[in-house]
Structure 1
Amino acid sequence: MTSISAPPAYTSPAPRRRGAARVVALVLGSLLLLPGIALVAAGGLLLWAHGVHRSDGFVFSPEDRLSTSTHALFSDRIDLRTGADWLPVSTSIGDARVQVTADDRGAVFVGVARADDVNAYLHGVSRTHVDALGFDSPAGTDDQFPGGAPSGPPADQDFWIARSSGTGTQQVAWPAGDGDWVFVVMNADGSAGVDVDGRIGAEFPALGTVAWTVLIVGAGITVVGVLLVRPRRQGF
């Protein structure tokens, strides 16, 4: 009698769903890794600035050499509006500070005032625009406006919200309230030819909290991304 063997059991192919899920995990993991690593780097940089790059409680920009043959140096408008009612400027930034160091030739003046007041005082005065103090290498001072001497020494004006004059290093600090501010650097007597080293800074009282928050969030996103792209061990 001839025996008939049963056909081998049918083995179904591996479901495509598992492969598709793996592709989705790889794509999501790759998309998460880039912002995660960027946030970790940003958090580390903020922590470095908070712990190392402080002077007298302020985080300062790098120092720039500012020199002009005109009567005054004036900054960009410093707009300190946060754009969010729940985050007051005074809480996020604290006080702002401008510091200049003059050479040995004479006394220097540095003052901060509202942009409209500065524009009125320097109207018709030879002056030089300071572009991106501390954030350009070096700060640009090529934008000059022709004119004559000011109507009087800067220290005699009453519109400054903060001012300082004298030889050597001079600095002014002011509460970082909403508004457009401009800082001005001149020789104390209003004469032409200003030559100083300058930098700008702020207290940033919440910088440490922000830095740790950014670092932790970035680390969490990075870990999730790594877990998604990590090869999975196959079972037997």
Structure 2
Amino acid sequence: MKPGSVVMLVIGTLLALLGLGVVSGGAAVAWANSQQQDGRFLETPARTFSVDTYALTSPRSDAGLGVSTGLPFDVGTISLRATSLGGDGEIFVGVAPQAEVDRYLADVNHTVLRNVTFAPFRAEYDDLAGSSEPEPPGDQTWWTESVSGSGEQQLTWDIQSGGWAIVVMNADASPGVDVSLQAGARSDLLTPVAVGLLVGGGLLLLIGILLVVAAAIGLGRAATPTGPGQGPGQGPGQGPG
């Protein structure tokens, strides 16, 4: 058995398996990209969020919701569908710089959505104490994007660099937010990512298959038995010379 052929077989098998995994990932990304055509979003299931405070806000982080890009296309757009479950009440949804939201909700009893899981659904909250009553959110002029009203409201926002926060409140700033929320996202990045994964994975798979075939041929030649009285390199009827 030729050691070189064995090594080639192992490397070829590993490359083929890696390429198959990358191609599978590319196919999944391509499918996700197909779901966001014609302005559609990849969306989570609608879930109910209920808090007793004045406002429900997105998790706070040093990075915020935004990212720094500099790319010649949109990194992504997020969508949030909100429907008030509090009878005929109107709901407000807005996105604004984190610093503006911090000033607005300073000393206001509000809730930060810390984490969400969907299988099974579970929302984890942090309640922040306060003694002040907020002014109606629609009266504020610093919102970057906002929607309000009865029935389903949809906020869409192109991701930008910096620290940002999403706020959900009753439009009249009353306490007790009971709302159905459905988040979504779309990104122009999915197309180049899918193409890169499919092409790169396809090349790895092709190289792996070629190495496996070459190794199999080499091992087959090494395993060919010699006839009686034949030494290596001797043909039939040839003596040792």
Q: TM-score, normalised by structure 2?
A: 0.76
Residue 66 (1) aligns with residue 44 (2): no
Partner of 1:95: 77
Partner of 2:188: 205
Q: Distance in 1 between matches of 2:135 and 2:11?
A: 65
* Cα pair 1:40 1:215 within 8 Å, conserved: yes
Instruction: Count matched residues.
Output: 215
Q: 1:79 pairs with 36, 61, 65, which one? A: 65
Per-residue deviation at 1:177? 1.9
Secondary structure of the residue that 2:216 maps to in structure 1? coil
Partner of 1:51: 34
Q: 1:232 pairs with 216, 221, 224, which one? A: 216
Compared with structure 1, are the counterparts of its residues 135 and 43 closer, same or farther at alpha carbon in structure 2 (3 Å cutoff)?
farther
Compared with structure 1, are the counterparts of its residues 220 and 58 closer, same or farther at alpha carbon in structure 2 (3 Å cutoff)?
same
| Counterparts of residues 209-228 of structure 1 (less than 5 Å) | 209-228=192-211
Compared with structure 1, are the counterparts of its residues 29 and 127 closer, same or farther at alpha carbon in structure 2 (3 Å cutoff)?
farther
Q: Distance in 2 between matches of 1:214 and 1:135?
A: 28
Gaps of 5+ in 1: 1-13
Residue 196 (1) aligns with residue 172 (2): no
Q: 1:115 pairs with 90, 98, 122, which one? A: 98
Partner of 1:4: none
| Counterparts of residues 14-29 of structure 1 (less than 5 Å) | 19-29=2-12
Q: Distance in 2 between matches of 1:61 and 1:162?
A: 21
Compared with structure 1, are the counterparts of its residues 56 and 75 closer, same or farther at alpha carbon in structure 2 (3 Å cutoff)?
same
Q: Distance in 2 between matches of 1:204 and 1:134?
A: 22
* Cα pair 1:149 1:191 within 8 Å, conserved: no
* Cα pair 1:96 1:176 within 8 Å, conserved: yes
| Counterparts of residues 134-153 of structure 1 (less than 5 Å) | 137-138=120-121, 140-153=123-136
Per-residue deviation at 1:102? 2.0
Compared with structure 1, are the counterparts of its residues 170 and 134 closer, same or farther at alpha carbon in structure 2 (3 Å cutoff)?
farther
RMSD: 2.7
Secondary structure of the residue that 1:21 maps to in structure 2? helix
Per-residue deviation at 1:74? 0.4
* Cα pair 1:164 1:170 within 8 Å, conserved: yes
Per-residue deviation at 1:145? 1.6
* Cα pair 2:92 2:137 within 8 Å, conserved: yes
Compared with structure 1, are the counterparts of its residues 92 and 229 closer, same or farther at alpha carbon in structure 2 (3 Å cutoff)?
farther
Q: TM-score, normalised by structure 1?
A: 0.77
Q: Distance in 2 between matches of 1:113 and 1:166?
A: 18
Secondary structure of the residue that 1:179 maps to in structure 2? coil
Bigger drift between 190-199 and 51-60 goes to: 51-60
Q: Distance in 2 between matches of 1:134 and 1:113?
A: 25
Residue 172 (1) aligns with residue 155 (2): yes
* Cα pair 1:92 1:204 within 8 Å, conserved: yes
Identity rate of aligned residues, in percent? 34
Question: Which residue identity lines up with residue 82 of structure 2 in the other structure?
Answer: V
Gaps of 5+ in 2: 225-241
Deviation readout 1:99-145 (Å, 9 max, x if unpaired): 21222511110000011111111111122222355777535233222
